[in-house]
Amino acid sequence: MRIVFLALLLFTGAVAAQAQYPWPDERPGDRERAVLNEDGGRSFTVLPASGSLVGMLKPDASALLDPQQYSIFLGPKWSDPKLHGSEERLGKLLNSVRDHAQMDELAQAGMTNVYAPTWTIEKLDIAGDRKIGDLEIQSIIREIVKNGAQPSGDSIFMVYLDPSLQSTLGPLQAGKHYMSYHGYANVSEVRIHYAVVPYQADQKAAYQTALRTLVVALLHSASEDEH
């Protein structure tokens, strides 16, 4: 009886501790990996999570203030109504969080303005049924910025590929070597932070991959600002 009581006491204590400290460390090496991209610079492949978004952030982790999401839906198949219907949620990742644990954790990490303005464009005039590399992605972002997009220092471009475009990053291929990645490009003396998210048919999985990619990229940017 005493053994059962002691086991129950230890279990209760463990649960209480977990409830009190729900922000276990996910080290940078557990969420992203630096790789060389096509121009010899660095990009960062986003690693799959072992669980949900919960656990990535800590209270007061960084000053992640008002990140503005710019979304580029790249490829001709985004004109398909079935695909087009998913654009609103992918284009407003923070605003679309419905899991209360995720919402609480984002808020306690300083990301409270989930209703910050977002900006979306479809880029349908891209040839499909082929591979698309990082240098071409950067070139498309430069073109869009020069044609009117006005990102700030807290902005991040989320580039969503349609199912006809196969993402590559140097010798790496999406689906085989990475699920998504983020990096930087210089456009008219402005450093642009962007992320590339390959297509996933499962809309729920696609949203969670995009959300994780956004948060990993923002955490990386915040850690750079601290140094």
Note the pLDDT of residue 13.
40
- For the chain, 227 residues long, give each residue's pLDDT as a single digit of tens: 544 443 434 333 433 333 333 444 577 788 899 999 888 889 999 998 866 666 666 655 545 456 889 999 999 999 999 999 999 999 999 999 888 877 777 777 667 777 788 999 999 999 999 999 999 999 999 999 888 777 776 789 999 999 999 999 999 999 999 999 999 998 877 889 999 999 999 999 999 999 999 989 988 887 776 65
For 143, residues 6+ apart whose C-beta sits below 8 A from its C-beta are none
Sheet containing strand 42-46, strands side by side: 32-36, 42-46, 180-187, 190-197, 155-161, 68-74, 119-123
Instruction: Report the predicted TM-score, pTM, of the whole model to 2 decimal places.
Output: 0.84
Note the pLDDT of residue 58.
62
Note the pLDDT of residue 135.
96
For 98-117, write each residue's pLDDT tens digit: 888 777 777 776 677 777 88
Tokens of 100: 């209360």
For 44-56, write each residue's pLDDT tens digit: 999 988 666 666 6
HEC readout, 105-170? HHHHCCCCCCCCCCEEEEECCCCCCEEECHHHHHHHHHHHHHCCCCCCCCEEEEEEECCCEEEEEC
